[in-house]
Amino acid sequence: MIRVFQIVVFISIVLGPTGCNLPGKNKPVWEQAKIGDLAPAGGAKKLDEQLLKTVNFKVYVFEMPAENISALNDVWQMLRSSSTAESRQMGPVYSKRLQFDNHNAFGANYFVADCGQIQVQNIIDLMHTAGGKTVETVSLLLSDGQAQTIDIARLNSEQTVFYASAKGSMEGATVGPGLIALQIKADKIPGSTYVCNVGAQPVFLPPMVSPIQELADRAKTKKFFFTCCHFRLRMSPGDFILLGPQKYTDQRTTLGGLFFSRNGRTPVVRTLLLLCTSIND
- pLDDT at position 185 is 94
β pairing state of 240-245 and 111-116:
antiparallel
Q: How far apart are CA 192 and CA 155, in angstroms?
A: 41
Question: Is 149 part of any domain?
Answer: yes
Q: Look at residues 124, 128, 75 and name the one whose alpha carbon lies nearest to residue 246.
A: 75
The verdict on residue 27 lying in a domain is: no
Q: In 17-166, at which residue ranges do the beta strands (DSSP E only) sit?
A: 54-65, 99-100, 111-116, 133-143, 147-155, 159-164
Give the closest residue to 266 by CA, choosing from 64, 58, 39, 36: 64
Per-residue confidence (pLDDT) for residue 52, from 0 to 100: 61
Q: How many residues does the chain have?
A: 281
pLDDT digits (tens, 9 = 90+) for 25-48: 444 433 444 434 444 455 544 444
Amino acid at 276: C
* CB contact burial 117-140 (16+ within 10 A = b; e otherwise): ebebeebeebbeebebeeeeeeeb
Low-confidence ranges of the chain (pLDDT < 50): 2, 4-5, 7-9, 11, 13-15, 18-40, 44-48, 87-95
Is residue 168 assigned to a domain?
Answer: yes
Domain-embedded: residue 270: yes
Query: What's the pLDDT score for residue 206?
Result: 92
Q: Which amino acid is at 73?
A: N
Task: Please indicate, yes or no, if residue 202 is contained in any of the structural domains.
Answer: yes
Sign of CA dihedral 63, 64, 67, 71: negative
Asked whether residue 99 is assigned to any structural domain, the reply reads: yes
Give dist(CA 256, CA 245) in Å, integer.
7
Q: Where are the alpha helices (DSSP H) in 109-148?
A: 120-129
Nearest residue to 183 via CA among 144, 140, 221, 220: 140
Work out how many domains the chain is built from and give that number: 1
pTM (2 d.p.): 0.74
DSSP β-bridge partners for residue 116: 240
Would you call 268 exposed, middle or buried from its count of C-beta atoms within 10 A (0-12, 13-18, 19+)? Answer: buried
What is the pLDDT, as a whole number, of residue 53?
78
C-alpha span between 162 and 167 (Å, rounded): 14
237 within a domain of the structure (yes/no): yes
Helix (H), strand (E) at residue 186? strand 178-188
pLDDT, position 27: 47
Domain boundaries, position 236: 55-280
CB 119 within 8 A of CB 46: no
Nearest to 116 by CA among 132, 140, 95: 95
- Predicted confidence at residue 209, as pLDDT, reads 59
Beta bridge partners of 58: 139, 275
Residue 73 has a pLDDT of 87
Indicate whether 14 belongs to any domain: no
Q: 230 — phi, psi (to 5°)? A: -80, 135
